Chain A
Amino acid sequence: MKSRVLVVDDDTALSEMIGIVLKSEGFEPTFCADGDGALVAFRDEQPDLVLLDLMLPGKDGIEVAREIRAESGVPIIMLTAKTDTVDVVLGLESGADDYVTKPFKPKELVARIRTRLRRTDDPGPERLRIGDVEIDVTGHNVVRDGERISLTPLEFDLLVALARKPWQVFTREVLLEKVWGYRHSADTRLVNVHVQRLRSKVERDPENPTVVLTVRGVGYKAGAPR
């Protein structure tokens, strides 16, 4: 089955070009040209992934990302012409999983999409414990005190990556490679922002984390199971 990708971009030439590339790579693109219609298009099309331009007529990309995230964990990749810290961080904090800076290469875009659509095909049932949180990897389920915590696929991947090797401290670069699929060094802010988002969901007190611990100057590690 072809993965459906919703492209939200006001530049029709670029949308069409992205469409050509995606089709040739075996995806099924659908389009939306403004921010106001994005949520409707998202509900109609039920895409597997959203490519979202940050600057849109009507509602801007950040607002759209927040709305989509409010009702779904579908991966969102921002298309951004800005590399300024504030915009990127704002986009990530509003719920985007990853971002590609214009001008990007088609291969880069496709690689980003593939990573986000990649589903870990696990050999058997796997249950992990990290802090006071229990993870059912196969069932894609995270539970604390019998209560289900809803995570986006990316946050789930991040948590599982940490929980699988509780003895290891992960540098941001390693996490970028494992979770985001970056081969070369990329923007470590991706990790910072998503660790914050993950903490806000799985920690009882995000100020004093017990599930995802910071190792100052190195990176992150899983908290001891309790």
Chain B
Amino acid sequence: MRRVRRAWRRWRAWAVSRTRYVVRRWRSSLQLRVVTSALALGVVAVALLGLYLSVSIRDGLFEQRVDRIERENASMTEQVRTSFSNSPATSRSDLQLLLTQMVQTLASSASSAQDFLLLSAPDQPQSLADTGTQPGLKDIISADLREATRATDGQVLQSVRVPGQYTESEVAEPGVVVGSTVEVPSLGTYELYAVYSLQAEQETLSFVQRTLAIGALAILALLGVLTWVVTRQTVAPVRRAATVASRLADGHLDERLPDAKGQDEMATLTRTFNEMAGNLEDQIARMEELSAAQRRFVSDVSHELRTPLTTIRMAGEVIHASRDELDPAARRSAELLYTQLDRFEILLTDLLEISRFDAGAAVLDVEQRDLRDIVTAVTDSAMPLAETKSVFLSVTLPDEPATADVDPRRVERVVRNLVVNAVEHAEGKPVEVTVGVDADAVAVVVRDHGVGLAPDEIERVFHRFWRADPARARTTGGTGLGLAISLEDARLHAGRLEAWGRPGEGASFRLTLPRRAGIRLQGSPLPLEGPSKGVAAPPTGQLPVLNPPTGPTPTAIPELGVVDVDGVDIAHAPVPPARPDVDEEAR
């Protein structure tokens, strides 16, 4: 039973795959479709035509034959009647002899009928035995026919099937029985039946049908070959064009169709196609030139701007270093010059980076790195900032290595950007950095609990020069390009950078990177929202990277029983006096 089921299943699988294959072929080949539909139409047309021909030939043959039989039978009946009426016989034995002789006479006559029967009408009282060349044939004469024969003076025809035992060929043959009545002296009315074989006509008909069938098959084959050849002639260039077009689409812009001579449609198609491909190639070459020019421009601008900026910067620093010798106004100017040069430089760097992305000139410099190391390095360097903002910065790392093929410079830039952003917008509430890893991807989520983002802000957060809070942004000194660059960096890795946020609840940014080139990201090892509520306690099993604002042992883990690690207490812990830099003063 099980074997049967298994066999069935196997058969079904085979049938399904077979069907799929056929369907695929059907869909993919125009030629197959044309040939098939031509053949289908051909079969229907030939079948109808054949049927009509065969039927009309059959009817014609039958009618002709029946006409002949009728005429022949009528004259024969007349003869029989005459013989009977002229007969002097009166005694039963004479009469019996007369009947027998009559049948024999008939059988040996030139008539085309094969058998004869003389049957007495059933209402004749003193009838003699029925006579016939083959008395058994009486069975094939139906009661209806006999009744009809008796009812008329003329002849009655009926088609019959003559059983094999009564025929020469010993197989059943089609035939016709013609009945008429004759008067036998002293005995009354007898029925005379003649059986005619239609075997000859049947054979003619079979022959004609065979010939028709062969002809039909030949026509169908011809039709099939014809359509195949015709479609091949038209489809082959189309197929060639399709192949070339797909090569073009793959970027082989120098691909062309072989030249076609003549003025027909195919030649026109070929010419226009090649013209189109030529135009396309020209256009793309022009675009590439433009792009290269753009790239050169970016590179040149970079150099041309940076060299004088370097001089200015060094001059500014030298002046700044000796600012104590200057009068107050000049001193302040030196300070302003110094800090604004920083901003100018960051802005220039970011702008050049963005335009490098736009020009498609950004190159990924990949090596295998552990994302945990990158994140640790970034959070370590972000500690001083977190300290001044009194933000509790915690890091959760997975136990297994989060290695991936990445450009460390870019990933570090993205992570630093996210962490610094989070710290700056945290408003003293904790910031959690989580690293996750799975088979395909590594991810880092940076979650803050600050002002948060409205839905429309989430959409615009990656836009260039967009600032969450224009009034605040000046003090934090970002260029407004950071997230836009981060997004481009993520894209360059075929990774993703996503934002989440809710007003008042904070924001979360997730960077997901494929572990190796060629992996298409499906999901991410980490949820975008990060830990749902602020850290009630540092994640267990992990060394929390705590950031006590002051104290003799800054790296020590506070006793959890004593200090309420809620983020809040730490935020309220004594803060060192803010650095007297311009950022603070501008606030």
Nearest chain-B residue to A171 (Cβ)? B373
Q: Is B22 an interface residue (CB 8 A)?
A: no
Nearest chain-B residue to A173 (Cβ)? B377
- Whether the pair A81, B363 counts as a contact (CB closer than 8 A) is no
Of the listed stretches B196-204, B251-259, B269-277, B300-308, name the one at the interface; the rest are far from the partner chain: B300-308
Q: How far is the CA of A18 from the CA of B315 in the complex (A)?
A: 9
Q: Is A140 an interface residue (CB 8 A)?
A: no
Q: A-B pairs with the 5 shortest C-beta distances? A: A102-B306, A81-B303, A103-B310, A81-B306, A103-B309
Q: Which one, B314, B318, B363, contacts A86 given CB within 8 A?
A: B363
Q: How far is the CA of A200 from the CA of B188 in the complex (A)?
A: 137
Nearest chain-B residue to A16 (Cβ)? B311
CB distance from B167 to the nearest CB of A (A): 98
With A17-B315, A188-B408 as contacts: A85 and B370 at CB distance below 8 Å: no
Q: Is A123 an interface residue (CB 8 A)?
A: no
With A81-B307, A85-B363, A185-B412 as contacts: A217 and B314 at CB distance below 8 Å: no
- Whether the pair A106, B412 counts as a contact (CB closer than 8 A) is no
B356 partner residues in chain A, CB cutoff 8 A: 84
- Whether the pair A21, B318 counts as a contact (CB closer than 8 A) is yes
- Whether the pair B310, A82 counts as a contact (CB closer than 8 A) is no
Q: Which one, A20, A84, A102, A189, contacts B307 given CB within 8 A?
A: A102
Nearest chain-B residue to A107 (Cβ)? B317
Q: Is B345 an interface residue (CB 8 A)?
A: yes
With A106-B314, A106-B317 as contacts: A217 and B368 at CB distance below 8 Å: yes
A217 partner residues in chain B, CB cutoff 8 A: 368-370, 401, 403
Q: What string of 1s and 0s marks CB contacts (under 8 Å) between A90-118 and chain B?
A: 00000000000011111100000000000
Q: Is B361 an interface residue (CB 8 A)?
A: yes
Q: What string of 1s and 0s marks CB contacts (under 8 Å) between B289-300 and chain A?
A: 000000000010
A195 partner residues in chain B, CB cutoff 8 A: none
- Whether the pair B310, A104 counts as a contact (CB closer than 8 A) is yes
22 contacts between A and B (CB under 8 A): A11-B308, A13-B311, A14-B310, A14-B314, A17-B310, A17-B311, A20-B318, A81-B303, A82-B302, A84-B299, A84-B361, A85-B365, A102-B303, A102-B309, A103-B313, A104-B310, A106-B317, A184-B381, A185-B412, A187-B409, A188-B367, A217-B370
Range, interface on chain A: 20 to 34
A107 partner residues in chain B, CB cutoff 8 A: 317
CB distance from B457 to the nearest CB of A (A): 31
B307 partner residues in chain A, CB cutoff 8 A: 11, 14, 81, 102
Q: How far is the CA of A216 from the CA of B318 in the complex (A)?
A: 44
Q: Is A55 an interface residue (CB 8 A)?
A: yes
- Whether the pair A103, B306 counts as a contact (CB closer than 8 A) is yes
Q: How far is the CA of A63 from the CA of B308 in the complex (A)?
A: 24
Nearest chain-A residue to B412 (Cβ)? A185
Nearest chain-A residue to B303 (Cβ)? A81
A184 partner residues in chain B, CB cutoff 8 A: 381
Q: How far is the CA of A11 from the CA of B302 in the complex (A)?
A: 15
CB distance from A87 to the nearest CB of B (A): 9
Q: Which one, B306, B318, B345, B361, contacts A106 given CB within 8 A?
A: B318
Q: How far is the CA of A103 from the CA of B312 in the complex (A)?
A: 9
- Whether the pair A105, B317 counts as a contact (CB closer than 8 A) is yes
A187 partner residues in chain B, CB cutoff 8 A: 409
Q: How far is the CA of A103 from the CA of B412 in the complex (A)?
A: 21
CB distance from A57 to the nearest CB of B (A): 13
B412 partner residues in chain A, CB cutoff 8 A: 185
- Whether the pair B314, A81 counts as a contact (CB closer than 8 A) is no
Q: What string of 1s and 0s marks CB contacts (under 8 Å) between B323-338 and chain A?
A: 0000000000000000
Nearest chain-B residue to A217 (Cβ)? B368
Q: How far is the CA of A184 from the CA of B401 in the complex (A)?
A: 23
New A-B contacts (11) at CB < 8 Å, excluding given A17-B315, A106-B314: A13-B308, A14-B308, A18-B314, A21-B314, A84-B299, A84-B363, A104-B310, A185-B377, A185-B381, A188-B367, A217-B403
CB distance from A10 to the nearest CB of B (A): 9
Nearest chain-B residue to A79 (Cβ)? B310
A21 partner residues in chain B, CB cutoff 8 A: 314, 318
A11 partner residues in chain B, CB cutoff 8 A: 307-308, 311
Nearest chain-A residue to B365 (Cβ)? A85
Which one of A102, A103, A187, A189 has the highest number of Cβ atoms from chain B below 10 Å of its Cβ?
A103
Nearest chain-B residue to A86 (Cβ)? B363
- Whether the pair A82, B368 counts as a contact (CB closer than 8 A) is no
B368 partner residues in chain A, CB cutoff 8 A: 216-217
- Whether the pair A189, B365 counts as a contact (CB closer than 8 A) is yes
- Whether the pair B311, A14 counts as a contact (CB closer than 8 A) is yes
Q: How far is the CA of A129 from the CA of B317 in the complex (A)?
A: 46
CB distance from B207 to the nearest CB of A (A): 87
Q: How far is the CA of A85 from the CA of B356 in the complex (A)?
A: 12
Nearest chain-A residue to B409 (Cβ)? A187
A84 partner residues in chain B, CB cutoff 8 A: 299, 356, 361, 363
- Whether the pair A81, B302 counts as a contact (CB closer than 8 A) is yes
Q: What string of 1s and 0s marks CB contacts (under 8 Å) between A192-226 and chain B?
A: 10000000000000000000000011000000000
Q: How far is the CA of A14 from the CA of B370 in the complex (A)?
A: 40
Which one of B356, B365, B377 has the highest number of Cβ atoms from chain A below 10 Å of its Cβ?
B365
Q: Is A24 an interface residue (CB 8 A)?
A: yes
Q: What string of 1s and 0s marks CB contacts (under 8 Å) between A127-166 and chain B?
A: 0000000000000000000000000000000000000000
**In residues 333-386 of chain B, which contact A (Cβ within 8 Å)?**
345, 356, 361, 363, 365, 367-370, 377, 381
A216 partner residues in chain B, CB cutoff 8 A: 368
Q: How far is the CA of A106 from the CA of B313 in the complex (A)?
A: 8
A13 partner residues in chain B, CB cutoff 8 A: 308, 311
B312 partner residues in chain A, CB cutoff 8 A: 103
Q: What string of 1s and 0s marks CB contacts (under 8 Å) between B396-423 and chain A?
A: 0000010100001100100000000000
A20 partner residues in chain B, CB cutoff 8 A: 314, 318
